[in-house]
Amino acid sequence: MQTPDEWLADFESKVADLQQKATEFKKNIESAGAVERSADGSVTVTVAPSGALLDLHLTDKAMTKSAEALTAEILATTRTARQQAAQEVATAFTPLGGDSDIVQRIPTPDPSAPAPRTPASHPAEDEDFTPTRIYKDEDQRW
């Protein structure tokens, strides 16, 4: 049986350890974003730890590509950056006792894989969103 002083010392040690781990986790999570450059260097993307696109930089060389080729290059580079960010986020959990094997389970995108197909035109862009009265009472307006 522990004395109150031993229990308190053990508790304070555990709290200090958790504070150190939390500080390390916070530092790791804050730096977990990724910057990725396409193979030819024409596209550079920056993503947040969540995978959200933060920045996109296109060189003059990128502007010589067809719209389809440039779109594919941007999407492939973004997928690679997101995968890298996901690995860094998973690794950030390691100090907290996270599963270090999770990084190995994150799928690696194939940069040569074709981008998912999107409609050539977006019908929503052609719709008229002019406010119209939908209420019978004329006092309720947009």
Does position 68 have pLDDT exceeding 90, yes or no? yes
The chain-wide mean pLDDT, for the chain, equals 79
Tokens 């502007």 correspond to what residue? 63
Q: Is the dihedral of CA 106, 114, 46, 39 positive or negative?
A: positive
Tell me the pLDDT band of 112, cut-offs 50, 70 and 90.
low
Share of the chain above pLDDT 90, in %: 41
Mean pLDDT of 109-121: 55
Q: Give yes or no for a contact between 31 and 18, defined as CB atoms under 8 angstroms apart.
A: no
Cα three-residue angle 51-86-52, rounded to 5 degrees: 5
Does position 100 have pLDDT exceeding 90, yes or no? no
Burial of 59 (0-12, 13-18, 19+ CB in 10 A): middle
The candidate with the shortest Cα–Cα distance to 36, out of 49, 47, 28, 45, is: 45
